[in-house]
Structure formats: C-alpha cells, structure tokens
A and B are shown apart, each in its own frame.
Chain A
Amino acid sequence: MSVPLLVEMVNITKKFPGVVANDQVNFNVREGEIHVLLGENGSGKSTLMSVLSGLYKPDEGDILVGGIKYNLRSPRDAIKAGIGMVHQHFKLIDSFSVAENVILGGDGTPMILNKKDIENNLAQLSERYGLRINLSAMVWQLSVGEKQRVEIIKMLYRGSQVLVLDEPTAVLTPQEAEELFDNLRRMAAAGRGIVVITHKLNEVMAIADRVTVLRRGKAVATLEKQAVNQRDLAWLMVGQDVVFQSRKKNPPDSAKVLELKKVNCLSDLGLAGLTDIDFSVYKGEIFGIAGVAGNGQRELAEVVAGLRAVNGGQLLINGTDVTGLSPRRIMDRGVALVPEDRLGTGLIPNLDAVDNLILKDYRRALLRRGPFVNRRVARSNAQQMVERFEVSLRSLDAPVKLMSGGNLQRLLLAREITSQPHLLIAVYPVRGLDIKATKAVHDLLLEQREQGMAILLISEDLEEIFKLSDRIGVLCGGRLTGILPAEAADIEEIGLLMMGTDRTGETAS
C-alpha cells in the first residue's frame, strides 16, 4: 500500500453485557481519504468510533496511530494523538461565542485570552477549508448546520489528523449536506483522514473513497467505492435481500378527518411555535410532514393530539371543532399518537407489557370491574396484541425497558392501532430501527392506510416521506412552506422548502 495509514485498529473487540458490540474488527484510515463506516443501527459503528476516540476502552485489540501503539484512555488522549470526533449531539455551550467554544478545554489555551489573536487564527483555519462562520456569534444563535461546522473547526483547531463524524447528515437539509460533503472533500485533499458514520447508502456513493461495512459487530467487508454499487452494499449491510415493494395507490376518500385552520401555538420557550398552519388530512391518506428537526414538528404533533394549547385558529376532527379540548377528549374522538420519544412519552419503561398496553384503554368499560382494573381481560387482550403484531418479548410481566427498539415500536403501534383511531399521528416512527424493523413498521402504516385510516406522518427522513406519503407538507420555522402531491415533488424542491424558500421563490420570514 503506497498511501500511509494515519490510524489502524487491529482486532478490536468490545463487549457489553449481553452483546458483543465489536467482534475482532479491523479498520484503518489512509491519509487523504474519506472512509465511510456503514451499518444498520446497532451494528457497532458508533461503538467502534467511540473506542477510537477514547470514550470506550476495548476489551481486546490495539490502536496504532502513525504506526505506534497507543493506549487511549480518554477523549483527551485521543485528541492528543490527533483523533477528533464530532458527535451526533453537539457538545457546545449555548451562551458562549463560537470562538470561545472552539478554544474551550484545548491544551494550547493560555490563562489570559487575547480575543483578537484567537479569532485571527480561527478565521484562517476556517477559511482554508471553506467553513464559513461568524466567530463572535453566540452558539444559540446558530443553525444546526452552523453548530456542526463549529464542532469541526474545534477538532481542526486541536490538530486532529483524523476526523470522525457520527451520522453528520441526520440534522441537515439536502443542500446543507452537500455543502458539508464539499468541506469534507477539501479536508481530505489537504491530507487529513475523514471517517463518516452512516446507514444511508446514497451517502456512501456520494462521498466515500472506501467503505467498511459492519454487520452485528463484525466488519464484513472493506471495499473501494469504485468496486461497489448500492445493491451490493445493502446486501452486505443486512445479510439478505430486502425487497421494497411498491404500494397500492388508493385514491383518498373525500372525507376530511383532520383539518387545521390558521393554527398558531407557542413553543416551550414561549415563542411562536407554529404560525398559521393550514392543511387537511383525508380518510385513507398518508400526509407526510418533511422538515429539518426542530422546525415545529413536535409542536404540530402535540397540538393535534391536544397536548399543546392552540393559541389562535381552529382544529377540527371529522368536521367537529375540538380546539381547546383535553387530550383525553381528543383521544376519545379517535386520535392516536405515536410520539417521537418512545420510552420517554409513549411507554412506561419500568412497568410490564400488560400495564403498558392498557395505557389508553384502562378507563374503558371492557377493562373495568368496579374501581378495579380487570387484569384477566387486560392480560388476554395484551396476549392477542402481542401475537397479532408479532412483538417478541420475554414475558408479559417483564418491564418493557428490556425490549429492543424495534419491538418497543411494535408494542406502541399495537396499542395505538388496536384503539382503531380515525387519525394516527406518527412522529419519527422508525427512528433508531434497523432495516427489517423499519420495513415492518412501514408495512403496518400502509396497511392501516388501505383500511381507511388517516395518517399524519412526521419524519426527518426524506426517503421515508417519499416512500409512504400521498401528499407532502414542508415545515420550516413553524410555518408550512408548501404542500405537494408526492408524485409531483422532487427532493431538490423539498430541500428548498425546508430552508424556507416557498414555491414562488421568495424566502418566508
């Protein structure tokens, strides 16, 4: 091999109780390359990179940096060795400026700060790689894409030769992602090694020089990009063929199940959360909401479910005004919600499956026996739901926190779908699920749609939105910047709408 290796991981094994997260994995990064680490959720990508960046200590195996064996005991050691990681959740301090965040905790930071010098240094650094940023801006003023840029600059400033990015595009619009890729290519061209963790096949094709595929903790292949196509990669990643069947087109009914008229609401901070939202969802239709996370998606789901107060405008379910009704009343009118945060809102981690499955129904006559809950009926209902929705669990009496993400989502969907709602709100329904579980959830949603349920699908994954939706609405800054029928929409246009440019080309304020 002519190109020198910056970092080499040899036979890395990392075990967690009950799982081998990394099993004898070999991985290396060449000078000047972009190396994509591909795998499903839970395949061990993040663990492997956490080992490299000093967060975890491997149970077995060695890490070589520039040919020398290193014992990385903390992220600090890793940074000293020239390895920097940009995590999915940014580690920035909102009330500090960009420059302050970058120098924070760095070894070269002097006792007394010369703001001008530092900013000059940083300006040079960011310019070299085209990382446009206002160094004196406060972090809370920045967009998600800009925050990510700050994290990258931080790592470059600390002299990282190897830069690891964990699912960097998850929070970006397609255009922002393209810009990030350009920046990464520039850094690679300057001789640094870039590792990008992802589970999206199209990203591999877009930026990789090489790709390593992880499956269940094992590195199944390391290949040059030229030698592969998306199909092969999917096969390597899942270990079997995945068939994405095309769905049946059923013209939606004309009955409006959900209608929002000029709905406004406040965000948690008391600012405008949603502004003048106007749309309807029809019977037997999936209405997809696209947008970068944090642009009003959660507020929208909560408003429709009655969990957030409407602050102007009207909310109608099946033609009746339900504005201002309690969550329970709205639930009784046939609205079900699969919340974004499964264990935090949708389920009770420490209670068993039976208790979790009666959460919406425990007041119903069927489950009543005087003031008591009829445990026998509750149990047999739970058993039926578990069988019908193929939830695999150890026992109905075990706390649900022991279940896997895919099974938790099935359990949640089982409960919400069994309540036979007119409208199902699904927020990020497949977040964190592997390909098979994702397909199962999607099939369930499509099946319900065929049976006439109206579904409001909120997702940050455009592929998912395109695959399932009949119509697509785009949220940006709490406004609906456009509604398009799925056939007529293309990803470029949706991307523009996600950034706040409406269909006429003007920028929405």
Chain B
Amino acid sequence: MIIRGTRLTIEKRLVPSSSAYLLIPIFSIFMALLVGSIFLYFSGHEPVAVYYKMFKGAFGSRYGITETIVKAIPLTLVGLGVALAFRMQLWNIGGEGQLYMGAFAATWVALTFPEGSVWWVMPAMIALGMLAGGLWALLTAIPKAIWGVNEIITTLMLNYVAILWVDYLVYGPWKDPAGFNFPLTAVFSDAATLPGLFDSRVHAGLFFGIVAAIILYLVVYHTRWGYEIRVTGENPGAARYAGMNTTRNIMLVMLFSGALCGLAGMSEVSGIGHRLQHGLSPGYGYTAIIVAWLSRLNPFAVILVAILFGGLQVGGFIVQTSGIPSSMVYMLQGLLLFFVLGGELLTGYRLNRVPATGEATK
C-alpha cells in the first residue's frame, strides 16, 4: 500500500550531521520526560509540577546543588572507569562490586591504623582502594584475556560476591561494638576522612573525578597506549595485525577500570559515610553504565551526565514526599537511555520525502 502523494523513506547519511549531535540528545531527553509524564499523569500526578519540583529540588537550592554533586562524584568515577573498559569493548558490568572492594580496602586501612597520621593514612587508603578495585576487575580480565571467558557474566557475578563480603564484615567481625547492633563499622579517625567542601557534604572526592577525567582524556587520545586501546576497541583484527599485545592490554585496561571504581568506593566511605556500612551504594555501579554510555565514552561528558543523573536522584528523592514512588527515578533513567540510544541511530539516518511515482500494481 502506498499513501497517495508522498511517501517517507529512511536514508543513511554519508556524514552524520553535526547539528544532530547536539539536537538529538536534547530532543531525546525531552521525549523521555514526555513519556515519563504519561505515567505520572495516569498515576494521578501533575507531570509539569512534578518535574518542576524535581528540578528545583536538585538544582534550585544550595542544598540541592551540593547533594547533586555528592551523587555525581561516585557516578563520575565509576562512569570513567567503565567508559575506559567500554572503549576497548570490554563490558565491565562490575563497577558496583569494584566500588565495594575499594571501600573495603580503604576501610581496612582506616580501622587498622586509627592513630595514623593523615600524611600516610589518606594516600594509603587511596592506593589500596584503587588496588582492591583494580584486582577485583583483574580477576575477570585474566580468564577473559587467556581463554576468552565472557566478562559480562564474571564481572556481574563478582558484584554479588563483593557486596556480600562487605555485608559479612559489617554484620560480623567489623561491626562497631558501640553501634547499637547496626550493620556498620566504627567511625573513621579524622586522618581517614576526606575533607568536606563548601560547608556541605561535598568532599574532596570531587577533585578525584575532575583529575581522573583529565588524565583519562590525555591517556586515551594522546598516548601510545591510548592509541592501542582505541584501535583494539574499534577493530581487534587490526590490533593483532599491527602486533599489539591484546592480552596485556585487556588486563591493564580492566585493572585501571576497576581502580577508578575502587576509588569511588574509597571516596564514599571516607568522604560521605566516614565508615563502612551495609547498602553503601544505591546502585552507582549500574547507573554509571548508563552515564558512560550516554556520554559516548567522552571523559568530560561523563562529568556532565553524572551531574544530570545525580540531580535526577536528588530530585526524585525530593518528590517522594508528595507521594511519587522512588522507582520513578529508575524509570526515567531507563527512558533516557532508551531515547538517547534511539536518537543515536537517527544521527546516522535521515527521513526523506519522495513523491510517489506510479500506482502500485499487482
């Protein structure tokens, strides 16, 4: 059947249009909000008012902005970590577990040396936190590099192991005797606590995120090793043909990817909780996967998208008081991913209107 007059065809663009790079993400976000509003409307809420309240809650006050940044810090660090792995087509879904292991190792330093001076306790927490996250990821990289074991499965499975390991510690040997039986450790010493900023919960972990993004950008786009990562990610066959050591690169990339996630865990316990506790992360490791993807693996975009998603969580928390379920936030996250990925497809194509010629004959 042909609609009389004109018909629409989809054509592939030879060169992706440059204006589309900016317009499509904006349009996608708009669409996600639109579809989200349908759900809100049918669950008896006024969508515009809810969105306004979310926005105001996240970005409209000093408290809101600082809380948004608090959430954006771990999302940035884990987002950068998984983006590095994704760049080489290593699907590290284990950011959550690597975050937990980083938190665990940092806590070990803090609890073992309560009297230590800040000059070595803090560096040791950073180093061991990163090492633990990195080794946790390396555990999956070795079988991947040698036997081709699917890292999606192994990284995901190790998340549960890491979370349960931390639970074991906080419910068991590391439980604070003075903690009224809550699953948390004793409070860290001042030396083991990241300094706060702006007189709020924002902490020095913010600098970790910014510095990591800059380093990552330089490494990926300007070093020989970054070149190898980009080549391997785009075309593994070409990497082999050029004599690159892919086995080694898989291990190194996963090690650094995990290290950044571990750093996120370290900064959470040292900057926010000041102790290790059950339910340390509300799924930062998973949300960060969306963050990495939406930012097209660009390190600086990761920071921006992390702030957006941090704001989404804070805003979602605010509107809970007016009876909107917290799952609304996750729904919006999913919709955002859905529309941005869909929009990405469109940057490569365009709709074309062609006058219909001749009638359909059978």
Contact = CB atoms under 8 A, between A and B. Distances in A.
B222 A70 contact: no
Contact of B231 (A329, A341, A348, A363): A348
B15 A348 contact: no
Interface in A435-475: none
Interface in B186-218: 218
A326 B240 CA distance: 10
Contacts of A372: 218, 222-224
Nearest to B243: A328
Interface size class of B (residues with CB under 8 A): 20 to 34
Interface in B337-360: 354, 357-358, 360
A62 interface: yes
Interface string A341-371: 1001111111100010011101100001001
A345 B358 contact: no
A355 B240 CA distance: 16
Given A59-B354, A71-B360, A355-B230, A346 B238 contact: yes
A207 B338 CA distance: 55
A381 to B, nearest CB: 15
A307 interface: yes
Contacts of B358: 62
Interface in A302-358: 305, 307, 326-329, 331, 337, 339, 341, 344-351, 355, 358
A307 B238 CA distance: 11
A345 B238 contact: yes
Given A344-B235, A355-B227, A18 B14 contact: yes
A59 B7 CA distance: 11
A92 B205 CA distance: 59
A91 interface: no
A115 interface: no
Interface residues of A, number: 39
B362 interface: yes
Interface in B59-85: none
A69 B361 contact: yes
A327 B240 contact: yes
A62 B360 CA distance: 11
Given A348-B235, A368-B224, A359 B242 contact: yes
A373 interface: yes
Contact of B237 (A18, A328, A345): A345
A326 B241 CA distance: 10
Contact of B234 (A326, A331, A345, A351): A351
Nearest to B16: A399
A346 B241 contact: yes
Contacts of B14: 17-18, 402
B238 A347 contact: yes
A60 interface: yes
Scoring B11, B15, B224 by chain A CB atoms within 10 A of each residue's CB, the highest score goes to B224
Contacts of A358: 227
A350 B223 contact: no
Contact of B361 (A17, A70, A307, A327): A70
B13 interface: yes
6 A-B pairs with the lowest CB-CB distances in the bound complex, closest first = A328-B243, A327-B243, A345-B237, A348-B235, A348-B234, A371-B223
29 contacts: A17-B14, A59-B357, A60-B357, A69-B361, A70-B361, A305-B241, A307-B241, A326-B243, A327-B240, A327-B242, A328-B242, A328-B244, A331-B243, A344-B235, A345-B238, A345-B241, A347-B238, A348-B231, A348-B238, A350-B234, A351-B234, A355-B231, A359-B231, A368-B224, A372-B218, A372-B222, A373-B222, A373-B227, A402-B14
Given A60-B357, A346-B238, 4 more contacts: A305-B241, A347-B238, A355-B231, A372-B222
Interface of B: 11-15, 218, 222-225, 227, 230-231, 234-235, 237-238, 240-244, 354, 357-358, 360-362
